[in-house]
């Protein structure tokens, strides 16, 4: 067997092992990302197909939100982005401190996806391809950064919730390190990533927001 064929087979085995490792050891990441994408689809599908009073109210909220965004200053854009991205991370943090918070933490990326799917679906439904470019240039880059933070935080919260449940159900359960200290440290870093997402959104809005004038 030639060296080229051997090298090709080794690479194939290596890639297969990487996929297996991702699906077994990192199954939480795969699950959370899948739920986020499912939420994006659900939110977009709903806003594009829903009828009735609820759909009108959701569309009205979206229109008010994006209209106010047009004339916002730097601080307003930052605070809006911080609330928009930070609320899901904050929910993951607090439910991670609950022994029974594990199943709730799992659903947070889903609801984050639904919220952003509603916004994206509304823009595309209302403005077509212009709305799609609006999302691509002023929303999605900062959203991608915040989702990385959220997925990492949700994984930390799921592990923390399991640890707290083990401590509550087993009085002899001891840990060699302070899990709460490590948890707070991890979330301090994740909060920094959220702030980076907010700064990214400010930069993008200053460069591209005025080029659309769709509201």
Pinpoint the alpha helices (H) of the chain. Answer: 3-24, 27-49, 53-70, 74-96, 102-127, 129-138, 140-169, 179-208
What string of pLDDT tens digits covers the 215 residues of the chain?
A: 455 544 444 444 444 444 444 444 578 888 999 999 999 999 999 888 877 666 677 777 777 777 767 667 888 889 999 999 999 999 999 999 998 999 999 999 999 999 999 989 888 888 889 888 988 998 999 999 999 999 999 999 999 998 888 878 875 555 556 788 889 999 999 999 999 999 999 999 888 877 776 65
pTM over 0.85: no
């Amino acid at each position: 067997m030639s060296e080229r064929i051997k090298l090709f087979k080794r690479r194939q085995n290596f890639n297969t092992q990487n996929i297996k490792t991702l699906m077994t050891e990192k199954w939480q990441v795969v699950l959370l990302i899948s739920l986020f994408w499912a939420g994006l689809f659900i939110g977009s599908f709903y806003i594009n197909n829903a009828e009735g009073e609820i759909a009108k109210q959701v569309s009205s909220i979206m229109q008010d939100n994006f209209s106010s965004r047009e004339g916002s200053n730097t601080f307003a854009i930052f605070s809006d982005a911080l609330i928009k991205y930070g609320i899901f991370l904050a929910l993951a943090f607090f439910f991670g401190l609950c022994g029974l918070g594990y199943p709730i933490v799992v659903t947070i990326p889903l609801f984050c996806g639904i919220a952003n799917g509603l916004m994206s679906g509304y823009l595309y439904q209302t403005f077509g391809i212009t709305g799609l470019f609006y999302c691509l240039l002023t929303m999605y880059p900062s959203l991608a950064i915040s989702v990385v933070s959220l997925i990492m935080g949700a994984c930390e919260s799921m592990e923390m919730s399991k640890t707290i449940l083990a401590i509550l159900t087993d009085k002899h359960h001891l840990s060699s390190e302070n899990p709460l200290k490590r948890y707070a440290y991890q979330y301090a870093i994740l909060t920094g990533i959220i702030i980076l997402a907010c700064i990214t959104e400010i930069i993008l809005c200053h460069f591209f927001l005025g080029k659309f004038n769709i509201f």
